[in-house]
Amino acid sequence: MDKYFVIGHPVKHSLSPEIHKMFAAQFDIEMSYETRDFEPGGFIEGMAVLRREDSPKGANVTHPFKMDAYQYCDEVTPRARKCEAVNTLIFDGNRVLGDTTDGKGFVNDVTQRCGASLTGARVLILGAGGAGRGLAAALQEEGCARIYIANRTPERAHSAGAALGCASGSFVDLISEKFDIIVNATSAAFSGAAPAVPNCVFSECSLAVDLTYAALPTPFMQLAKESGAVRVEDGLGMLVAQAAESFALWTGRMPDTKPVYEKLRAAFDASVAL
């Protein structure tokens, strides 16, 4: 049986094992998919142990290791090279191939499930890490009018902006900016907070998306709604969509995301009702 993993810290909460189990069932594929928690700074050592003891066929990489994974790979796809981040690993003998499906998953979810148009949109990405970079790279292919990367530390935002050819700045710099779509790709939710952005940035926002997913609205979703965003979404849809892209890379088969998303959302809604 082929073995797959999702690597991150923390990662115990991940829905990826359940998602890939449902994908595999659509095609009667036997596979295992488990979580692996690596300590920060321990990606290389963790990968050595994982490959030695489990001989994985593939792996997903989540916060905070996407840029570590990029450096780890022997070969990466053009889209991964562009954003210098990897969330999907493919093991081919002694070689490791890396790709990023975050951006493609986000685009698919926003345009198909949410029905939003990216053509001509002004998009703000909060966070300059691997997820934010992956989104920016993919959005550049969608005809957006403007893509702006903002980060708590402006130096990191400018570094990402320069690498990707996007406008960039700190959260404070957003005081006079307006956007149609705002995406929270920061790790603020892990500490139960929203990124410290000015409320006025949401005044013309038609869609605000938090890449974190939860049964209840996240602090960012609450901030966006209270500040004028027309529609707010968590990251469950993107999670399922990017997972489908990874699954297709590993197996050559594209699963149906709709029933998987609906089942997970129903489970979230039921947990809130209890």
Catalytic center residues: 66
Give the domain ranges of the chain. 2-101+238-258, 103-236
State which fold the 2-101+238-258 domain adopts: Rossmann fold (3.40.50)
pLDDT tens, position by position, 11-67: 998 999 999 999 999 999 999 999 999 999 999 999 999 999 999 999 999 999 999
| Residues contacting 209, CB < 8 A, separation 6+ | 106, 110, 181, 182, 183, 184, 232, 233, 234, 235, 238
Please state, rounded to an integer, the average pLDDT across all residues of the chain: 95
Share of the chain above pLDDT 90, in %: 92
Tokens of 160: 């990402």
Alpha-carbon separation of residue 55 from 16, 51, 70, 84, 138 (angstroms):
19, 5, 20, 25, 31
Cis status of the peptide bond prior to 255, with omega within 30 of 0:
no
pTM confidence score: 0.94
**175 has pLDDT over 70:** yes
pLDDT tens, position by position, 97-147: 999 999 999 999 999 999 999 999 999 999 999 899 999 999 999 999 999
Residues 103-236, CATH architecture = 3-Layer(aba) Sandwich (3.40)
Report how far residue 4's alpha carbon sits from residue 152's, in angstroms, rounded to the nearest whole number: 34
Tokens of 234: 């968590």
pLDDT tens, position by position, 57-101: 999 999 999 999 999 999 999 999 999 999 999 999 999 999 999
Fold equal for 2-101+238-258 and 103-236: yes
Residue 4's DSSP bridge partners are: 33, 58
